[in-house]
C-alpha cells in the first residue's frame, strides 16, 4: 500500500536516531554504576566515605586493595569457592550431558516417561525443610557435598543440552556408526562429546556462575568457618559489617572494625566479581 | 517396525542409554523426589528424633495455623505483590531491548551494547545488595546525593518500607535485562533475511518491519517464558530479599521463602515451615497449569 517515499526514509532515520539514543542512555545506566564502584575502590577511604567519588578516583590510593590482600579469610574463602565451583561444575556437566544425550535419542525406550520425571521437578519441589533434613540424614551437613549434590543438575540446562544434541548431531552419523558396530557408549564418548564444544562451554559458564555466586546453601548447611565459600565471607564483611581476624590489627573496637569493613568494601566487590565477569565476557565473545 | 518388537527387547536394546542416564536418575530420586516425600511432614507434628514414620499425623492443622496466623495476609500479599510487579515490569524490557538491538545496522554497536548490558548478570547477589546499600547510603550514597541535589528529600531509602519494592525491582532490572534479552535475540536471528528485503521492497518502514515481522517471531518464545515465570510467581528468590531485609523495612519485605527460613528452620518448627512451603508450591503449580491452559486455548502456544 505505502510506496517508498522520501518521507518514509526520513521517518526511518528518525527511528534510528531514537533507538541509538535510547540504547546510549541504557549503556550509560549500566556502565556508570560499575565505573563508580571501580573509582571508589581506587580512592582513599575518606573520600569514599564522604561520597565524593564520582567516576574518577579521588585521592588515588591502593590501601583498600592492600588491606584485602592481607585479610586471610578472604583468600581462604576464595580458595574454597574455587574448589566448590570446580567440583560442582564437573558433577553438573557429567550428570547433564549423559542425561541429555540419552533423552535426546528417539529410540530410547522409556525416554518420554523419564523426561516427564525430570520436567516435574521444575514445577514442584519438596521445599526448604525436607531438603535440610535430607542433608542431615545423609550426614553431609557441614561438608562441601551439601553445596554440590543438591544442585547436581538443572533441568532447564539439561533440556537446552538435549535440544542441542537433537539439532546438531546428524542422524546419519549415528546410523553410519551403528553400521560399523559402534555401540552407544562409544558413540557418546567418541563422537557426541567431541562435537559438543559450544554447549559444554555454555553449560560450564552457567553452572560455574551459579556455584560461585550462591550463598544460600552455604548459609543453610555450612557452620564451620574454615569451609565457608567466598560469598558467605563477603556477606559477613559487606552486609553485616563483621570483620573478624584482621592479620594486621587486633581490632577489638566495633567502630574500628566497621571502618575497616567500609574501607575494604569496594575493592572486595571488584576482586570477588572479576573472575565471573571475565569468564562471562569471554564465553559471550566466543559464541 | 518398533511396534513388532516386544518391549523387553527394546528395553534391552537401549540398556547403554539407561546406564548413561542412571547417575542423573539416582540424583533425581534422592535429591528431588525424596524431599517431596519428606514434605509429608506438613501433615504431621514432626518429631526429628522419630522421623516421618514415628511422628503423629495431624491432618491440616499446620496449614490452619498458618492461615489463621497474623502474618499470613502480610506475607502472602508481599509475595504476590513483589512477584507480580517483577513479572509485569521485568517481562517486556528484555523483549524491547532485543527488538532495538536487532534493528541496528551496525554490528559493532550491537555487540558492544549487548556485551555491556549482559555484564551485571555475573555479579553475585551479595555484591549486588552491597552496591545497592552503598549507593543508597544516607550520608555517602551516590544516588542519595544525586536525589538530594535535585532537591528531593531522601534519607534512608533502605529503611523505608515503601521504597523496598521499587529498589528491588529496579535493581533486578538493571542486573538481568541484558541477560534475559539473549534468548529473544537468538530467536530473532532465525528470521529469514528475505522477509526484511521483501518488506523493504513493499515500502515498509523500520517500525512496520518490527511490528509485522519481529514481534510475531517472538510470540512463541515470549509465551513459554511467561508461563514459566508465572509458575515461579510465588517462589520468589530468597537470596536477594533476605539480604535486603532489615527491621525497618520488614513489613514490606517479609515473603514466604524468608518466613519459611526463619520460622521453619531457625526456630525449628519443621512441620509448620514445611506446610508453609508446600502451600507455596501448590499455588505455584496451580497457577502454572491454569495459565498454560489459558494460553493453549487462546493462542495455541503452551508448554505441552
Best of A15, A27, A127 to disrupt the B interface (most B CBs within 10 Å) is: A127
Asked if residue A188 has pLDDT above 90, the reply is yes
Same domain, A127 and A72: yes
How many degrees, rounded to 5, is the angle at CA B139 between CA B136 and CA B142?
45
Q: Cβ distance B248 to B161 under 8 Å?
A: yes
Give the model's pLDDT for residue B259. 92
Nearest residue of chain A to residue B26 (CA atoms): A95
Give the model's pLDDT for residue A153. 93
pLDDT tens column, B177-225: 998 898 899 889 888 889 888 998 988 888 889 999 999 999 888 888 8
User: Which phi-psi region, left, alpha or beta, contains residue B257 (left: φ > 0; alpha: ψ -120 to 50)?
Assistant: alpha
Beta bridge partners, B45, equal B56
Residue in B38, B114, B178 closest to A133 by CB: B38
> B298 or B59: which carries more pLDDT confidence?
B59
Q: Which of A112-121, B72-81, B222-231 is predicted with the least confidence, judged by mean pLDDT?
A: B222-231
- pLDDT class of A257 with cuts at 50, 70, 90: low
Alpha-carbon Rg for chain B, nearest whole angstrom, is: 25
Question: Counting one residue from A and one from B, how many pairs have CB atoms under 8 Å apart?
Answer: 264
Same domain, A88 and A217: yes
ipTM over 0.95: no
Give the C-alpha separation, B25 to A117, whole Å: 9
Phi, psi of A249 (to 5 degrees): -150, 130
Give the model's pLDDT for residue B155. 77
Q: Cβ distance A221 to A263 under 8 Å?
A: no
Asked if residue A281 has pLDDT above 80, the reply is no
Give the C-alpha separation, B94 to B40, whole Å: 39
Q: Cβ distance A15 to B206 under 8 Å?
A: yes
Nearest residue of chain A to residue B38 (CA atoms): A130
Same domain, A28 and A159: no
Domain B61-299 has CATH 3.40.5.10: no
Using the beta-carbon criterion (under 8 Å), do A2 and B203 form an inter-chain contact?
A: yes
Inside any domain, residue A230: yes
Using the beta-carbon criterion (under 8 Å), do B130 and A265 form an inter-chain contact?
A: yes
Interface of A with B in 113-132 (CB under 8 A): 114, 117-118, 121, 123-132
Considering only CB atoms, which chain A residues are within 8 Å of B233? none
Give the model's pLDDT for residue A33. 92
The stretch B40-47 carries a mean pLDDT of 86
Best of A11, A85, A114, A126 to disrupt the B interface (most B CBs within 10 Å) is: A126
State how far residue A249 is from chain B, nearest Cα, in angstroms.
Answer: 24
Angle between helices A6-41 and A254-286 (to 10 degrees): 140
Contacts of A52 (CB under 8 A, 6+ apart): A43, A58
- pLDDT class of B3 with cuts at 50, 70, 90: low
The stretch A222-229 carries a mean pLDDT of 93
Write the CATH number for A178.
1.10.3720.10
Give the model's pLDDT for residue A132. 93
Nearest residue of chain A to residue B225 (CA atoms): A156
The stretch B226-255 carries a mean pLDDT of 83
Same domain, A195 and A241: yes
- pLDDT class of B167 with cuts at 50, 70, 90: very high
Asked if residue A7 has pLDDT above 50, the reply is no
Asked if residue B2 has pLDDT above 60, the reply is no
Give the model's pLDDT for residue A256. 66
Residue in B28, B134, B145 closest to A121 by CB: B28
Asked if residue A2 has pLDDT above 50, the reply is no
Nearest residue of chain A to residue B274 (CA atoms): A129
CB atoms near residue A149 (< 10 Å): 19
Considering only CB atoms, which chain B residues are within 8 Å of A8? 203, 205
- pLDDT class of B232 with cuts at 50, 70, 90: low
Best-predicted range by mean pLDDT (A50-59, A80-89, B101-110): A80-89
Using the beta-carbon criterion (under 8 Å), do B38 and A49 form an inter-chain contact?
A: no
Same domain, A46 and A163: no
Give the model's pLDDT for residue A279. 80
Given A14, A33, A61, the domain boundary residue is A61
Q: Is A145 in the B-facing interface, judged by CB distances under 8 Å?
A: no
pLDDT tens column, B67-105: 998 899 999 999 889 988 888 898 999 999 999 999 888
Best of A56, A103, A129 to disrupt the B interface (most B CBs within 10 Å) is: A129
Given A21, A45, A61, the domain boundary residue is A61
Given A61, A77, A98, the domain boundary residue is A61
Query: Could you tell me the sign of the dihedral formed by the alpha carbons of B8, B14, B16, B21, in that order?
Result: negative
> B54 or A154: which carries more pLDDT confidence?
A154
Give the C-alpha separation, A186 to A176, whole Å: 13
Q: Is A258 in the B-facing interface, judged by CB distances under 8 Å?
A: no
Considering only CB atoms, which chain A residues are within 8 Å of B101? 23
Q: Is A19 in the B-facing interface, judged by CB distances under 8 Å?
A: yes
pLDDT tens column, A129-150: 999 999 999 999 999 999 999 9
Q: Is B212 in the A-facing interface, judged by CB distances under 8 Å?
A: no
Give the C-alpha separation, B229 to B224, whole Å: 9
Q: Which domain holds residue A261?
A: 67-286
Structural domains of chain A, count: 2
Using the beta-carbon criterion (under 8 Å), do B117 and A49 form an inter-chain contact?
A: no
Using the beta-carbon criterion (under 8 Å), do A23 and B21 form an inter-chain contact?
A: no
Inside any domain, residue A34: yes
Buried b (16+ CB within 10 A) or exposed e, A66-93: ebbeebebbebbbebbeebbeebbebbb
Buried b (16+ CB within 10 A) or exposed e, A125-148: bbbbbbbbbbbeebebbebbbbbb
Residue in B16, B38, B141 closest to A130 by CB: B38
Same domain, A32 and A118: no
User: How many angstroms separate the first and last alpha carbons of chain B?
Assistant: 27
Q: Single out the residue of B228, B3, B25 nearest to residue A103, CA to CA.
A: B25
Inside any domain, residue A180: yes
User: Which three cell numbers, joined as nine digits, stand for A278?
Assistant: 571475565
Same domain, A13 and A132: no
Give the C-alpha separation, B163 to B141, whole Å: 15
HSE-CB of B4 using CA atoms within 13 angstroms:
1
Q: Which residue has the cell 494460553?
A: B295
Inside any domain, residue A1: no
pLDDT tens column, B134-163: 889 888 888 888 888 888 887 788 888 999
Give the C-alpha separation, B212 to B246, whole Å: 48
Give the model's pLDDT for residue B9. 83
The stretch B223-236 carries a mean pLDDT of 73
Mean pLDDT for all residues in chain A: 86
Amino acid at each position: 500500500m505505502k510506496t517508498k517515499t522520501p518521507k518514509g526514509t526520513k521517518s526511518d532515520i528518525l527511528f534510528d536516531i531514537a533507538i541509538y539514543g535510547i540504547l546510549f542512555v541504557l549503556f550509560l545506566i549500566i556502565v556508570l554504576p560499575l565505573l563508580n564502584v571501580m573509582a571508589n575502590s581506587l580512592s582513599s577511604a575518606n573520600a569514599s566515605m564522604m561520597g565524593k567519588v564520582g567516576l574518577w578516583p579521588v585521592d588515588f590510593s591502593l590501601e583498600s586493595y592492600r588491606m584485602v590482600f592481607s585479610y586471610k579469610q578472604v583468600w581462604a574463602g576464595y580458595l574454597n569457592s574455587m574448589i566448590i565451583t570446580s567440583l560442582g561444575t564437573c558433577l553438573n556437566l557429567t550428570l547433564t550431558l549423559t542425561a541429555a544425550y540419552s533423552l535426546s535419542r528417539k529410540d530410547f525406550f522409556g525416554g518420554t516417561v523419564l523426561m516427564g520425571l525430570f520436567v516435574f521437578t521444575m514445577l514442584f519441589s519438596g521445599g526448604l525443610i525436607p531438603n535440610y533434613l535430607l542433608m542431615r540424614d545423609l550426614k553431609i551437613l557441614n561438608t562441601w557435598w551439601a553445596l554440590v549434590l543438591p544442585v547436581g543438575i538443572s533441568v532447564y540446562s539439561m533440556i537446552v543440552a538435549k535440544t542441542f544434541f537433537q539439532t546438531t548431531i546428524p542422524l546419519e552419523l549415528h546410523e553410519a556408526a551403528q553400521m560399523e558396530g559402534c555401540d552407544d557408549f562409544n558413540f557418546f564418548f567418541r563422537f557426541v562429546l567431541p562435537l559438543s564444544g559450544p554447549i559444554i562451554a555454555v553449560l560450564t559458564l552457567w553452572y560455574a556462575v551459579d556455584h560461585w555466586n550462591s550463598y544460600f546453601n552455604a548459609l543453610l548447611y555450612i557452620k564451620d568457618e574454615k569451609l565457608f565459600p567466598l560469598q558467605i565471607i563477603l556477606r559477613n564483611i559487606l552486609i553485616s559489617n563483621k570483620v573478624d581476624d584482621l592479620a594486621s590489627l587486633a581490632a577489638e573496637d566495633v567502630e574500628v572494625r566497621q571502618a575497616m569493613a567500609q574501607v575494604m568494601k569496594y575493592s572486595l566487590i571488584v576482586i570477588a566479581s572479576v573472575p565471573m565477569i571475565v569468564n562471562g565476557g569471554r564465553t559471550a565473545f566466543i559464541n | 517396525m518398533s511396534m513388532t518388537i516386544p518391549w523387553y527387547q527394546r528395553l534391552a536394546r537401549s540398556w547403554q542409554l539407561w546406564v548413561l542416564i542412571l547417575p542423573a536418575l539416582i540424583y533425581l530420586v534422592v535429591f528431588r523426589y525424596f524431599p517431596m516425600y519428606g514434605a509429608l511432614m506438613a501433615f504431621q507434628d514432626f518429631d526429628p528424633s522419630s522421623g516421618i514414620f514415628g511422628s503423629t499425623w495431624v491432618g491440616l492443622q499446620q496449614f490452619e495455623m498458618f492461615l489463621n496466623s497474623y502474618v499470613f495476609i502480610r506475607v502472602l500479599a508481599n509475595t504476590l505483590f513483589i512477584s507480580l510487579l517483577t513479572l509485569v515490569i521485568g517481562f517486556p524490557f528484555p523483549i524491547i531491548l532485543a527488538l532495538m538491538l536487532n534493528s541496528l545496522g551496525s554490528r559493532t554497536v550491537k555487540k558492544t551494547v549487548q556485551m555491556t548490558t549482559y555484564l551485571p548478570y555475573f555479579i553475585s547477589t551479595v555484591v549486588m545488595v552491597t552496591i545497592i546499600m552503598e549507593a543508597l547510603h544516607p550520608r555517602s550514597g551516590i544516588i542519595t546525593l544525586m536525589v538530594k541535589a535535585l532537591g528531593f528529600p531522601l534519607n534512608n531509602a533502605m529503611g523505608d518500607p515503601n521504597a523496598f519494592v521499587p529498589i528491588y525491582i529496579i535493581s533486578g532490572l538493571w542486573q538481568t535485562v541484558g541477560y534475559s534479552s539473549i534468548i529473544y535475540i537468538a530467536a530473532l536471528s532465525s528470521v529469514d533475511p528475505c522477509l526484511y528485503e521483501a518488506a523493504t521492497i513493499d515500502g515498509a518502514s523500520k517500525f512496520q518491519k518490527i511490528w509485522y515481522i519481529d514481534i510475531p517471531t517472538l510470540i512463541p518464545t515470549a509465551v513459554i517464558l511467561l508461563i514459566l515465570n508465572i509458575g515461579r510467581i510465588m517462589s520468589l528468590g530468597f537470596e536477594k530479599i533476605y539480604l535486603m531485609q532489615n527491621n525497618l523495612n520488614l513489613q514490606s519485605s517479609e515473603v514466604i521463602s524468608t518466613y519459611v527460613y526463619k520460622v521453619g528452620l531457625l526456630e525449628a518448627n519443621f512441620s509448620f515451615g514445611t506446610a508453609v512451603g508446600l502451600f507455596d508450591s501448590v499455588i505455584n503449580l496451580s497457577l502454572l497449569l491454569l495459565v498454560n491452559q489459558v494460553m493453549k486455548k487462546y493462542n495455541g502456544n503452551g508448554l505441552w
